[in-house]
Amino acid sequence: MTGQTRPSFSAAIIYRDPLAALAWLEKAFGFETSMLVTGPDGAVHHSEMRYGDGLIMVGGEFDERHISPERIGGRNTHSVHVQMDAGLDAHCARARAAGASIVREPADQPYGDRVYAAIDPEGHVWSFGQTIQAMTLDEQAAATGADIRERL
């Protein structure tokens, strides 16, 4: 377990098979299970994984509002972005070897980050980024042609 600080919020990600998801996320992305709460029948009630200072939760489907993408045709209502310090390409190679579907190969983006994206075995979308060149919002706007501001 690395990071000990607790973010003020975290994503809780829904899987049909949360135990398999925990094992896969450890192998593919290097996340570490830091808490696993199971009931008498072995069902996962709650779990937490850490990656550096980051925290996610992994849980099972528990009502019609909480459903794995696998059961809704690959649709996701959320995704998760992981911003790393270093090692993006090696991380992608590890994920691919573990069976992740790499849907965006690692590539430098005009806003200064190198990014790849992957889909896990139940269809959740993940992106990973590493800053290659730190840029201000004005510089990012100039490089991408988009309007970027700090307020609505």
Partner 1 sequence: MTAITPQLFYRDPKAALRWPEDAFGFETSMVVTDDKGAVGHAETTWRGESISVGAPFASPELIGPARMTSPAELGGAGSQFLRLEVEGDLDAHCKRARAAGARITQAPADQFYGQRTYRALDPEGHVWTFYQPVAEVSPEVARQGAGLTIRTSLD
Contact set with partner 1 (CB under 8 A)? 1, 3, 6-14, 22-23, 26, 32-40, 45-46, 51-57, 64-69, 72-85, 101, 103-104, 117, 119, 123-125, 137, 144-152
Looking at the DSSP assignment, which residues form a beta bridge with residue 44?
Answer: 38
Query: 38 or 133, CB closer to partner 1?
Result: 38
Helix, strand or coil, per DSSP, at residue 145 = coil
Cα angle 97, 20, 116 (rounded to 5 degrees) comes to 40
CB of 58 to partner 1, least distance (A): 10
CB of 84 to partner 1, least distance (A): 6
Q: Give the Cα separation of 112 and 133 in Å (integer).
A: 5
* Contact (Cβ atoms closer than 8 angstroms) between residue 55 and residue 91: no
CB of 94 to partner 1, least distance (A): 15
